Chains A and B, each alone.
Chain A
Amino acid sequence: MLFNSIEFAVFLPIVFLIYWLYFKDDFKKQNLFLLLASYFFYGWWDWRLLFLLIFLSLFNYFIGIKIDASITPSHRKSWLITGLVVNLCVLGFFKYFNFFIEGFVDLISLFGYDLKGTAINVILPLGISFYTFISLSYLLDINKKKLAADKNIIHVLLSLSFFPIILAGPIQRPATLLPQIRGPRIFNYDQAVDGLRQILWGLFVKIAVADNMAHLANDIFLNYSDYDGSTLMLGALYYTIQIYADFSGYSHIAIGTASLLGFRLMKNFDYPYFVRDITEFWKKWHISLTSWFRDYLFLPVSFAVSWKIKKEKVLFIRTDLFIYIIASLVTWFLTGLWHGANYNFILWGMLQGLLLIIYQAQKKPRRHILKQLKVSNNNQLLALTEGFITFLFIVLSWVVFRSDSIQMAIEYIKGIFSETLFHANVDLPLKEIAIVIIFIIFEFFQRDKNHALQIEKINKVWARWGIYIGIVTIILLFGGGTKEFIYFQF
């Protein structure tokens, strides 16, 4: 069920009314109802794959208890490894089987063997990367004793399958969701209204911004060889806006939906394009994923490497930087792979890692140079220039992300930087640009808020309602049509 579908527009009010009116006095029944609603929501797409979700959730429930109950560290470790291996094998099979088999077939063909036709096509269950990561964090947190295994099976199953987050996050860790599930929720008018506002903003961002940009970007990416440099640059910009609007829109709807049901979910985007450097960007983009990788991969790898190195320099590189390089490369390789079973995602991840390493490496010399030049780090021109360079890199890296192959990405980027880059032979889509400008204005002026439609400080009711009606009107009149969310494929 898509958040931007008629089905969801019917599903959510029914769930909301039953949840708050029929089960309002019994949070246990509310939890059971939410679990059933979550399974219904997930099974709407393909009920057969619902069994996989239920199986994995049950498995993780039992493994969680076993880890928690283990007396010796070795027992604990073996249960944890069992849990991690099964979860990762399921993810690996459904998400990467075809990728690795095709790679293997290609490799074998280099030696003259033809194995074509031997691969099987495995369906990718929707949201598998998201719910696997939620499950992994559940087990890892129990292992680290940050969280006690919950004996109540409904609680655990709900925390691993909660419908607002099951398909595309935020990757809300059970450590923060379970405490909310365990206690009663009381209907809070302000929270519900804020949830509705966030849903409305999410719908606007997805339907009016992302879907309109998708239409423009898809046309250019599909026929990139036909276009000149300036159009290709525009296509990259369209996609840059599309992917942000698409995914942040989804996250807003998810968070808003959870708010309506009395839950608080973590922020997933924090206006990431208004940044100065790449580290700042990654602190604000898909926060639930980047913080997951930071906590469960980057930091453990950094600690593991740092324990093994006792020298001040390794390969003429400062040890702290060397550790950062190793941990970054591992983390970003896997972040790229997490996004999809394709080489361009891996390249995209490695590019991000590389830029973060470069940023880290230049910090000290940069400070020194700025001091020599007597330029303050707060200099606005410097900030704008750095922000522009960062944004340009982000735009180009999205080309790699969006392309079907590395070859296409290279040709596309070569096309951008051809002699036709400044040929302004482009018809600008004025209607779509006007919508994007509205979007940017809201986001920029509300960037210190959780979402751009937190306008409760506007005292006049008519003004607030005018904004809501205006936004709904834009969605209805100018929406780009129902399209799946980009991150569903991951």
Chain B
Amino acid sequence: MKKFLIKLILFALIIASFTTGLVIVSDYTIKQRKNVLLKLSNDINIVFAGNSTVECSVDDELIEQSINIAQSGEAYLYSYAKIKSLIEANKHISTVFIGFSYGDLLMEKEESWLLSDEFVIEKIQYYNYLLDFSEKALIFKHNPKSYMKGLTKSVYNNFEACLKSFFLEKSNKYIVNFGGYKYLVRDKLQADPGVDLYQKEAVEKSPLQEKYLHMISELCRQHSIKLVLFNTPKHRSYYENVDEDILQIWYDTRNSLDRDSLLDLSTYELPDSCFGDLSHLNYRGARSFSHYLNEILNPNPKEN
């Protein structure tokens, strides 16, 4: 029994040391390569960030001088960390579009996107190296188990990203494990339960979502970057039925950020076939919408 316990403890210690070592080394390695990883070509000066609504709407291949770094279920805390790191590595960035859809400021988003097991693991494994101590502490405090899981999973992603950074082409609109345009094939408008889903319970504003959106605003101001709050196209049956309380939260937040611009294209008309569901464009919608965006952002396209 004694022999068994001693060996078991020894094994646990070896595993703990080995894993800790791997986490530290991988974190150190990716931080060393961070500037190379996040370096964009000099002609890219527009950044689209946010959650899946932006991820699926903006095909950055169709919009000149832009990069889409949005990702599904991305809380503003991660958008803040990504934008901050990207700005540090790319002084030429002039404009940041941040997703600002109706439900983004709700408490349920904080609970799921920021603090739920699934999303903590999912995000920490890719973005831990971008976070400051205070952000890491915040997530760890709320969900230590998932944070640790995400941290162990970050080892592979960190090494993979470092390795890939040696093969990246500078002109490429691509950053390893950093989000990007999602070519959404689905066509499930009819299957979407609709806005009733959000009307069942009393709505509550998320303090953390709001705080980090303000921090993004402040960050952009400090770097003299134009921030645009960006509401992507929604289906008519969605935007016509948004709950009043949700709308009020959205207006209040927008008013508190009155120094930043708002580009509200939620009512941009598109046929039903362009929607993956009520709040997301599919690839057809993204193609049409991105051409439109390109015309707005680059009214005088370069001559070939």
Interface digits, B146-181 against A, CB 8 Å rule (1 contact, 0 not)? 000100110110000000000000000000000000
Interface digits, B1-28 against A, CB 8 Å rule (1 contact, 0 not)? 1011000100100110011001000000
CB neighbours (8 Å) of A477 from chain B are: 22, 152-153, 155-156
Q: Is A88 an interface position by the 8 A CB rule?
A: no
Interface contact A192-B4, CB-CB below 8 Å: yes
Interface digits, A325-350 against B, CB 8 Å rule (1 contact, 0 not)? 00000000000000000000000000
Which chain A residues (84-131) contact chain B, with CB distance < 8 Å? Answer: none
Q: Is B117 an interface position by the 8 A CB rule?
A: yes
Interface contact A223-B153, CB-CB below 8 Å: no
Which chain B residues (192-230) contact chain A, with CB distance < 8 Å? Answer: none
Interface contact B15-A482, CB-CB below 8 Å: no
Q: How far is the CB of A433 from chain B (nearest CB, A)?
A: 14
Which chain A residues (457-482) contact chain B, with CB distance < 8 Å? Answer: 465, 468-469, 472-473, 476-479, 481-482
CB neighbours (8 Å) of B22 from chain A are: 473, 477
Q: Is B141 an interface position by the 8 A CB rule?
A: no
Interface contact A469-B186, CB-CB below 8 Å: no
CB neighbours (8 Å) of A253 from chain B are: none
| A472 and chain B: residue at smallest CB distance | B15
Among B11, B19, B145, B156, contact of A478 (Cβ-Cβ < 8 Å): B156
Complex Cα distance A473/B1, Å? 26
Complex Cα distance A481/B118, Å? 8
Q: How far is the CB of B129 from chain A (nearest CB, A)?
A: 16
Q: Is B121 an interface position by the 8 A CB rule?
A: yes
Q: How far is the CB of A336 from chain B (nearest CB, A)?
A: 28
Q: How far is the CB of A19 from chain B (nearest CB, A)?
A: 11
| B121 and chain A: residue at smallest CB distance | A481
Residues of A in contact (CB 8 Å), total 22
| A190 and chain B: residue at smallest CB distance | B4
Q: Is B297 an interface position by the 8 A CB rule?
A: no
Interface contact B186-A226, CB-CB below 8 Å: yes
Q: Is B185 an interface position by the 8 A CB rule?
A: yes
Interface contact A476-B152, CB-CB below 8 Å: yes
CB neighbours (8 Å) of B8 from chain A are: 196
Q: Is A193 an interface position by the 8 A CB rule?
A: yes
How many A-B Cβ pairs are below 8 Å? Answer: 46
CB neighbours (8 Å) of B152 from chain A are: 476-477, 479
Complex Cα distance A476/B152, Å? 6
Among B117, B156, B185, contact of A482 (Cβ-Cβ < 8 Å): B117
CB neighbours (8 Å) of A223 from chain B are: 185-186
Q: Is A59 an interface position by the 8 A CB rule?
A: no
Complex Cα distance A419/B118, Å? 37
CB neighbours (8 Å) of B155 from chain A are: 477
CB neighbours (8 Å) of A469 from chain B are: 14-15, 18
Q: How far is the CB of B277 from chain A (nearest CB, A)?
A: 12
Q: Is A445 an interface position by the 8 A CB rule?
A: no
CB neighbours (8 Å) of A472 from chain B are: 15
| A196 and chain B: residue at smallest CB distance | B8
CB neighbours (8 Å) of B118 from chain A are: 481
Q: How far is the CB of B272 from chain A (nearest CB, A)?
A: 17
CB neighbours (8 Å) of B117 from chain A are: 481-482
Q: Is A431 an interface position by the 8 A CB rule?
A: yes
Interface digits, A220-246 against B, CB 8 Å rule (1 contact, 0 not)? 000100100000000000000000000
Complex Cα distance A473/B153, Å? 10
CB neighbours (8 Å) of A21 from chain B are: 1
Interface digits, A11-22 against B, CB 8 Å rule (1 contact, 0 not)? 000000000110
Given contacts A6-B145, A481-B118, contact A193 B156 (CB under 8 A): no
Interface contact B18-A473, CB-CB below 8 Å: yes
CB neighbours (8 Å) of A478 from chain B are: 153, 156
Interface contact A476-B19, CB-CB below 8 Å: yes
Complex Cα distance A20/B1, Å? 8
CB neighbours (8 Å) of B156 from chain A are: 431, 477-478
Complex Cα distance A482/B122, Å? 12
CB neighbours (8 Å) of A193 from chain B are: 4
Q: How far is the CB of A407 from chain B (nearest CB, A)?
A: 15
CB neighbours (8 Å) of B153 from chain A are: 476-479
CB neighbours (8 Å) of B15 from chain A are: 469, 472
Q: Is A189 an interface position by the 8 A CB rule?
A: yes
| B159 and chain A: residue at smallest CB distance | A477
CB neighbours (8 Å) of B11 from chain A are: 465, 468
Q: Is A187 an interface position by the 8 A CB rule?
A: yes
Interface digits, A178-194 against B, CB 8 Å rule (1 contact, 0 not)? 00000000010100110
Tell me which of A192, A223, A431, A476 has the highest count of chain B C-beta atoms within 10 A of its own C-beta: A476
Q: How far is the CB of B117 from chain A (nearest CB, A)?
A: 7
Interface contact A473-B19, CB-CB below 8 Å: yes
| B155 and chain A: residue at smallest CB distance | A477
Interface digits, B95-118 against A, CB 8 Å rule (1 contact, 0 not)? 000000000000000000000011
CB neighbours (8 Å) of B121 from chain A are: 481
Interface contact B14-A189, CB-CB below 8 Å: no
Interface digits, A389-431 against B, CB 8 Å rule (1 contact, 0 not)? 0000000000000000000000000000000000000000001
Q: How far is the CB of A468 from chain B (nearest CB, A)?
A: 7
Interface contact B19-A189, CB-CB below 8 Å: no
Return 17 A-B CB contacts under 8 Å, by A number: A20-B1, A21-B1, A226-B186, A226-B187, A431-B156, A472-B15, A473-B18, A473-B19, A473-B22, A477-B152, A477-B153, A477-B156, A478-B153, A479-B149, A479-B153, A481-B118, A482-B149
Task: Please provide the 8 A-B residue pairs with the shortest distance between their CB atoms, ordered closest to farther.
Answer: A476-B152, A226-B185, A477-B156, A477-B155, A472-B15, A187-B1, A481-B121, A226-B186
New A-B contacts (13) at CB < 8 Å, excluding given A189-B3, A223-B186, A469-B14: A6-B145, A21-B1, A187-B1, A187-B4, A223-B185, A226-B186, A465-B11, A469-B18, A476-B152, A477-B155, A478-B153, A479-B149, A482-B149
